[in-house]
Structure 1
Amino acid sequence: NYPGSTQVGLGKKLLEKYPWSRFETHPEWVEKGCFAAGIGGEVRIIYLPRRNIYNWSGPAAMNLDPSVNWHAYYFDPATGRKFDQGIIKAGAKADDKTAKPVDFKKKVPSPQDWVMVLERVKE
């Protein structure tokens, strides 16, 4: 085993849950210092690199479709553990063109690299 090979395998397993070949990068979905990719209205994967030991702030998931309910969880890229963050409820009807985008920010479980996953709740 090479250092980091376990984490690569865990990342692969996470991505295989989704149609990752359709993912596109979306810097407008996150604040500076984070990286995001996904499929609009379906799934978002946000990478938050470790900043410093005293920074427990999580990423801001911005411009969420206000007509979609999202299930959010943190994925630990070192262990594969998931930390459920609950459901972000839609704030508007699907045809409401005046609805403001929803922002979501939740502290990370520990100060390290994290992946936040937001997936559309199937109705």
Structure 2
Amino acid sequence: MELDQKKLKEIVGIVEDKKGGDISLLNLTSISMVTDYCLIVTGNTTTQVKAITNHLEEKLPEIGIPVAHLEGLPAAKWVLMDCAGDLVIHVMTPEQREFYQLERLWKDAEAVSFSTSGI
């Protein structure tokens, strides 16, 4: 599966549908052999984390992105979705996001932005 800018924007849109916040999309293609992209999203409560996760689980296959593995439910403080190795999605509560600071782990990654892409 090839993730282009259009598909990445669709994925972010799915998260935004459920009001996911503080969205970070990191391009790991040049620094990781595990995945190409990492999407980190905050849900304000465990209920919102579950809603975002369920929405992603429903909508991603509709746009051709399989969800190969899902971890973190039913607690829903931090849910990890592995989308066949090309994309890993982390949906976290604010407390988990602050504690683990995944962006610092991937500080060498390029942040993907859509503001100037014209898509």
Tell me, yes or no, whether TM beats 0.5.
no
Q: Which has the higher helix share?
A: 2
Q: Which has the higher strand share?
A: 1
TM-score (norm 2): 0.34
TM-score (norm 1): 0.33
